[in-house]
Structure 1
């Protein structure tokens, strides 16, 4: 497909030269509804910052880029109440709250993407997840032109999981997210890199700055090296399996979950498998952060798929743990099962 007017190269952070049949930039809900009504008989894909997708091929339909903007702030005696439109850049939004003296999002600094994408993945970093600060999510039913507000509980948040990956996926658009941030600030320094320097982290700004420093030191800038951030989820495994790994690797990074389960760092598994910095064809594993797969320049989707499959198979051979992609895989007709694609 030759498509100088509908190239998605600048709309996906892997920087893949992928095309769509058409691209629509939606700055209001009317455009979202009109686009859906006109093109829903063919594939229709909503995108934010394109930072969590891997296109497998040209897209045979309409890509709609969510450009809804606007932030409003209210308050109670104890909390800040923030309503943020889905098209706002996530990191810019975090910066906005810190500058306004509203703490609570500092651990989530520099996560790529938009505010509307955050609930879908239940984004998280350095001991904080979106579910910890989310009050509600507003969605638009495109078929009925009807708005719904889901409470935190109704979003069914889990680890990189939510109802927006299931019941409210096709035919629905997240239009805004509501946040409740406590005025009585309690820093979260539970995550390793922050715990190591916690004596100096006494303000939201200092935590924000440290998180940015850590992320910039380990994660490549998509503007310079194509990537989608963390490619794989951190596996959650039975405690007894973790004990077996600990016998061989006493320093393995485990994080307690529900009873009988622990989370292990996927990047550590990939690193231990000897794959940090591994390169094949035009794709590779980032030399500073093994959890990030990179486009070394002019990579094709098959290069990244082949790399992901090799990483996944190699980790399984060494640890008997199957890694599951965090990145969404988008085929010609829409999203496909990432695990099945790599199996």
Structure 2
């Protein structure tokens, strides 16, 4: 098993929080105080969590891969907390799912959302159903997030916690957005891609780079007739670690990008209930009890291919994010 790290607890100075989070109508509010969705900068929270996560830990998509572990704990007085342990070695979707889980834990443990014990348990990155059946991509929350296509976009749509959009010119993308990058033009069984959290752009030797946090494996790639590193450091003098860490790829390597932004974690409880109701209606039993909620489209992508336009229709991925126009001047 990989090294386990305790759940990240976010501590921010009040002055920084005031600059990043709308405090209208709330006097002397502390960092990320309980308020309605429109007043919470989840991107800033994601970046804070990243700053507290370990670096490295190794990368694997083989038999030694370790999924993150999520545990619900009764702390008394009717309160339940969530603890998250990062699995190492990791891969891109396990790292970003662990990050999402850390966000859930931060909100749950601080009392800003209130998930039931059963709901907390459904979040675990389980690989088998309660009856012992092996779970695959498209089945359960982690299976959705881990799927080909647009796992983050699908989970955010099913739970109602966020929205997804395309932004090739990077006019609306913000640091802290989840990002699916495609290395080829395919979707599904024949796709090649990487799921990360967007950190911005930088220039390296005159080339545009897209930078991100995630789990990756440094290798060599042939570009322009010469061999060079697959990933580039996100900062001058830094290095790319195998596993958790920051890295960049040349913009020319990326065929398509889907950004997914968390906008309202207050919707998570109702979203999980809706998914359970749909699983029950399909005869699969309650989430986490028998068979999990299944996204049939993502389940099908294990063996067949699709296209970007179908992803857009399935998961409400917009190409002109008019709903984000008012965020164009937000901190990046």
> Looking at both structures, which has the greater relative contact order when contacts are Cα pairs under 8 Å and sequence separation is at least 6?
2
Tell me which structure has the larger Cα radius of gyration: 1
* TM-score, normalising length: structure 1: 0.21
